[in-house]
Structures are given as C-alpha cells and as structure tokens.
A and B are shown apart, each in its own frame.
Chain A
Amino acid sequence: MRESSSPLAGLRRRVARIAASGGPTGARGGGWLASGHAEFDAAMGGGLAAGRVHEMFAADPLDAASAAAFAALLALRGGDPAPLLWLRTADAARRCGCLHAPGIAELGGDPDRLLLIEAGDAKALLAAANDAARCPGSAAVVVESWGQLPALDLTAGRRLALGARDAGVTLLLLRLAAEPTPSVAETRWRIAAAPSRELEANAPGAPAFDLELLRWRAGPAGARWRLEWNRDDQAFRDAALSGAVLPLASRRTLESRGAEAA
C-alpha cells in the first residue's frame, strides 16, 4: 500500500500544478523581461518570457562584453529590487575580466542586486545553475559560459528549463565563444556590439547592440534589431544609423576575420 500511495500523491501534485499554471503550455506567473523599446516588445509579445530559458550567443568572442551587458540590462532594468544571480566559472575573470560594479552603476543598474557565484568548472557551473533555476525570488539568473559546453546537452537543458518553469525563474544562458546547438531554449539570440551614436568631439556614445533572433519557439525567427541603451530612461531605443556605419556584408567579413584573429 505504501509503495503505491507516494507516486499517486506525486501525480496529484503534478496535476494540481498544471491546473494552477493554466495548462501545460500556459505562461506561469506571467511577466516578461521587457526592453522598454515599444516595437521590440510588441514583436516579442511583451519581451523575453519570464520563467523560460533564453540563450544569448556572442557573435564573436570580442562581442562577449556586449552580450553580457545586454543580459544584465534586461534583468536589472526597472525598479524591482529582486537580486540578479550571475554564475560564471573561476577562470572567466582572467579571460573576460571581472564584473565591474561601478560600470554597472554607470549603466543605471544597482550593483547591490548582484550576487556573483563562481563555480570551479563547467560541471559545477551547471549544478549551481540547476539550483539557481529552482530558487524563486531572483530577477533572473545569468549563466555565463565560455566554449561549447558539451555538458549542456538536451537532457541537461530540459532539466534546467523545467526547473526554471516550475519556479518561475528566467534563465539567461550567456554563451560566449560557442556555436548554437539544438536546445530547448525559448529564444536564441546572436548579439554583437554596434557602433554608437557619435557625441561631441568624436567621442563614443551610449552602448548600442546588434540583435538577431535566431530561434523563437512561439513565433517567427530571423528578426534583427539595432538598439541603444538609454540609461536616463532605463529603456532601450532605436540606435541612430549614422552614415559612417559599415554595410552589413563587410561587417560580417570583418567579424569573421576578428574571430580568426582572436
């Protein structure tokens, strides 16, 4: 009798959970990580869905900082004081530099919300990510990884996605120096730095990003945006296309050259 009762209770709990979340595919707890850019948010149906896994690939290893900052800005914008968990491996500081809290403050984020978690290796990183994905109460969890990360296969990815959905945690997988592989992510982005709007005396302006939606489970992929971060409004806006911007084709070749050289 005892053997059969506990699986039954487990099933009941699962049914109750599915009913509470409005069906197996219904968005749970609601909400999005919105960018503040009206067109972008409308096209994405509100923004990046909360409680889901989103993959962000840096177009080139040199674009790592841009991809990371985009993830941080999405999670930190708005007044919600919930903490942002940032997971990385111990060698990331040597490779990409350490997270610089004054720089985050300069971008308009609150560094006090940041909780850095450093794992020894990729395996420990994934284990920590699994725990973080199951912990409700964070604004988002950023998992920064470098390289192809073979440990993150479909099974591991699904485990992450299920944990994140149950706890309503938004998981941003920041994939640096990696190529997309099959995954269960809700969206997949390729992010690169974009030339900024020129300020007085040829000074670089506010950070700008080139975004490409590679995959979207809930809609068509392939859209591209060039957004600029407006710190004073805490929102993204259209980046001005100045005449000096290189055409896209030559940009690509330059990028691949940069990738080879790096």
Chain B
Amino acid sequence: MRGALRLANVDARAAALGLVPGMALADARAQVQPLLVVPHDPALDRDWLDRLAQGCARYTPLVALDPPDGLILDIAGAAHPFGGEAWLIADLEMRFDRLGMTVRSALGPTADAARALARYPAPPAPDEAAAIRRLPVAALELDAEATRALTRAGLKTIGDLASRPMASLAARFGAEAADALRRLLGDAPSPLDPRIAPPPVAAERRFAEPVASTPHAMTVLAELAGEAIAAMAERGKGGRQFRATFFRSDGLARTIAVETGAPTRDAGLVMRLFAERIDALRDPIDPGFGFDMIRLSVPRLEALGASQLGLEGGAVREAAVDALADRLATRLGRGRVRRYRPVDTHIPEQAQLELPAVDAPPPQPWPAPEPGEPPLRPFWLFDPPQPIEVIAEVPDGPPQRFRWRRALHAVRRYEGPERIAAEWWRRRDNKGLTRDYYRVEDVQGRRYWLFRHGLYDEKPDPRWYIHGLFA
C-alpha cells in the first residue's frame, strides 16, 4: 500500500493494545477506537530532545543526543551531589515523569554499553558486565541481514559472540561488527560527542526550595557572576561570552547568552547586559514552579591583564562607548551595531564591510583621497543600485536629464565616465558588464552618482542606475 498513513511510533498503552510502529493508520483505527493520533514531526521531536538535553545539563555538562529519542549522560564523578547514581536516576525519572515522558534508563561502564542496555531488553543479571553479555546480538546494530545470519548461526547474545575469536567475526561481518562488539564490551573507547562543550569557567547554585521570583534569581546570578569573575581573575582572563542557564523544577531549562566586544571582568557590566537581554526577550522567562538550579558559564575566555586607568581619561571614555555598544547590541541584536572595515576592490558596493562591533577585527587604513580633488565616492550608497531613466545626447555620452523616483532632474555639471570593469577573474564565465560612472550635479546643486551598466558593444540597450548621493 503506497501513500498510506503509517504509525511512526506508539506509546506503552497503544503497544499493549497491539499497535506497532509501521502499521497503517487505517488498520490501527479499525483495531482501536477511539485512537489519539498526532502528526509525526521529526524536526519538532529533535527540538524537544534538545530541550530535554538542556534540562539534563543540571546533572552533568556532558550531555550527548542520541536521536531520535535517546540522551547519553556522562555522570562519572557527577552523582555525589544527588547521593549516588541510583538517586540521580530517580531524580531524573521523577522530572521526566512530570513532563509526561516515559524513560527507560540504564547505567553502563561506557557510553555504548549504557545505550545498548537502555535500548535492548536483556534478562536480569548480577552485574553490568554480565548484563552486557546477556544482550541480544541486535544490540550491535548491524544491518538486518547480518543480525539474522548471526542468530541462524546460533549466536544469540553478545556473550556468545565475545567467546569466539574476534578475527572470524571481522572476516564474516566486516570490521564494523568487530568494532561495535569491542565498544560494547569496553575494550575500545566509545567517545561522547557532547551537545555543548563544557565551558572553561562555570559557577552554579542549587536550591533546596525552588525559587519562583525572577528578581531573586537575578540576585543569585549576580553572586554567580562574582564567583566566575574571581575564577577568571586568578587565571588572568576575561570573558567575551556569558551564558546563564535557569533550570526549572519540572526538568526544562532556559539559556540566555550575552556577548561583549572586549574581554571583561566587570560583574556590574555583565549583569546590566543580562538585564538588557531579559528586557528585550519576546517571551519572558517563565519560572513555572520555580528554578531549582542556576548556572553561569563563560564559554569564551580571552587574556585580560590587570587594568590600569589612563591618566588623561582617554581609556575611560573609550570604555564608556564600548560598553554602550555592547548594551545596544544586546538589546537590538548583535548585527545591528556595526563598524566599517575596508575591502581592497574596485566594485563600489563591495569596498566596505559592515561588521558587528562585537567582533570587528582591528582597524585597517582606508584609501587616502587625492589632494585637491572633490570627493569621488558618494556619502550614501544604494545597495542594490536603483534603476533610473536617462536621456543622453549621444548613446554613450553623459546623461542630460534623468528620472529618479518619479522626479525629473536636469544635469548641469558632470564628470565622467569613470570606467569600472567587472571582476571577470572571479567569475566562471570570465565576463561581466563594465560600468561607466558619472558624477553629476543637477540645476539645484544636488550631486548624484549615476552609472550605465554595460558598454554599447557589450549589451544592446544598457540600463542606467543611480548608485549613490554625494554630500
């Protein structure tokens, strides 16, 4: 049956009623009435998994996604605040239960082993190593044919496989099969690819009672900022980026990040940026039933020596403008506060880069103007250029009158053409139209920059454009 709607997944109750993933929706409806169906949206599932992973960052910074429905947490050395591994798992299951999620969890000596133990049902075993040996061969996640071949050969569990020579397994089913088995047994490393790399500096606070008021949470954040800054001062570093994560008691978390243009150790500045960011949020931070943990991490550090104020006050003045730029970039968006950097090209609209002030490179010299010449480049540049209608005396002559935005302008003075060729060496077809630029002044004294796009021998009827306005 092609084009039929199928079940992507079923919950525990549906499974108990005999529904299985892959079943046609019509069959399922015939079998179970009433049936609650939600359209399958892999992107939304992935997003939800990511949010759950963010919430799990309360247990350990090393959280990896195992799509579509798994999370791997490296809790080595992280379980003691919860009173042991069992209590950590109980806490996690309690929170996921509150979110309406069913969790199947397992502990393992390596990431792959823990994953296999959680995903594949195995008979109870006295210890982890024995549990791994009792896993079905499907836990190796080879292709269906290889799994069937192994089962036919009488090799039903990982233990059966492990007792044979590894070489024959590799010869029959490929090196991946042998690698998968080694990783499962812990003989080969199974590295974790964490969702977010652990930050170099972090400070966190857990609460016995959830904190429901945002102002109180901000006070705690300010204390954490002080701690993180003390840690940075010891290392002679300053932070360029700060991330505050508010963990809610129901297991979800919200992260807010701010950036500064220069490394800083000023807690007041960081807190002002956070306040600015939170004010600008379209959806305010919802404490829900309260936050039970707040973490401040500093993912980007840069060297910052002890500060010395300049005697003439120049550094203080510059710092004030930098702080303003950071604040406005936090409120308006980092791309909205920009600085200009030159680019070495003849194409006018590419001659400058507008870069976010937060991470603009150091200044470079601009091309110096020719003494005695009037300005040859406009003050304002249209990008893209705007089309105009031009009347010229002779086809490739200067414009006499032009119509721009429905108004007619009579040209009184002009200079040109300044011929700017296309950068043919950058183009695959080695072509591109030449532009003839004219600096013109109309009868009212306004100065414009016009160009004809294409020479007459390049193009039959070249269009005219206005590219900029002079002072």
Contacts and interface: CB of A to CB of B under 8 A. Distances in A.
Interface stretch (A13-21, A179-187, A250-258): A250-258
A82 B317 contact: yes
A103 B321 contact: no
A262 B407 contact: yes
Interface in A107-140: 107-108, 110-112, 114-120, 124, 128, 131-132, 135-138
A101 B340 CA distance: 7
B454 interface: no
Contacts of B379: 65, 68-69, 72, 99-100, 103-104, 107
Contacts of A112: 339-340, 363, 366
A261 interface: yes
B354 A136 contact: no
Nearest to A70: B471
Nearest to A167: B320
A75 interface: no
Contacts of A72: 379
Contacts of A93: 383
Interface string A25-52: 0000000000000000000000000000
B46 interface: no
B362 to A, nearest CB: 10
B120 interface: no
B402 to A, nearest CB: 13
Interface string A183-195: 0000000001111
B123 interface: no
Chain B interface: which size bin? 35 or more
B230 to A, nearest CB: 28
Given A193-B444, A261-B407, A207 B470 contact: yes
B447 A97 contact: no
B413 A202 contact: yes
B380 interface: yes
Contacts, number: 218
Contacts of B351: 101-102
B318 A118 contact: no
B179 to A, nearest CB: 53
Interface in B369-387: 369, 371-372, 374-383
B170 to A, nearest CB: 60
Contact of A131 (B324, B369, B374): B324
Contact of B367 (A102, A120, A262): A102
Contacts of B440: 204
Contact of B406 (A196, A204, A246, A261): A261
Contacts of B323: 135
15 contacts: A65-B378, A97-B378, A99-B379, A100-B352, A102-B377, A103-B375, A105-B367, A105-B377, A108-B369, A124-B332, A135-B324, A137-B318, A138-B321, A246-B444, A262-B405
B380 A103 contact: yes
Contacts of B348: 100, 102
B83 interface: no
B413 A254 contact: no
Contacts of B340: 99, 101, 111-112, 114, 116
Nearest to B398: A202
Given A203-B439, A261-B407, 19 more contacts: A65-B469, A82-B317, A97-B381, A97-B382, A98-B380, A100-B468, A104-B379, A111-B366, A112-B340, A115-B357, A116-B354, A137-B319, A138-B321, A192-B445, A193-B444, A195-B444, A203-B413, A262-B405, A262-B407
B446 A66 contact: yes
Contact of B414 (A97, A111, A128, A204): A204
Contact of B380 (A83, A100, A110): A100
Given A132-B324, A194-B445, A203-B439, A231 B339 contact: no
A135 B320 contact: yes
A116 B356 CA distance: 9
A50 to B, nearest CB: 14
A102 B376 CA distance: 9
Contacts of A90: 336
A128 B328 CA distance: 7
Of A69, A100, A192, A244, most buried by chain B (CB within 10 Å of CB) is A100
B338 interface: yes
A107 B444 CA distance: 21
A196 B441 contact: yes
A100 B321 contact: no
Contacts of B117: none
B317 A119 contact: no
A83 B321 contact: yes
Contacts of A120: 332
Going nearest first, the 8 A-B pairs with the smallest beta carbon separation are A69-B471, A137-B317, A65-B469, A203-B415, A261-B407, A97-B380, A195-B445, A207-B471
Contacts of A66: 446, 471
Given A69-B471, A73-B471, A102-B342, A96 B446 contact: no
Contacts of A194: 445
Interface string B397-425: 00000000111100011110000000000
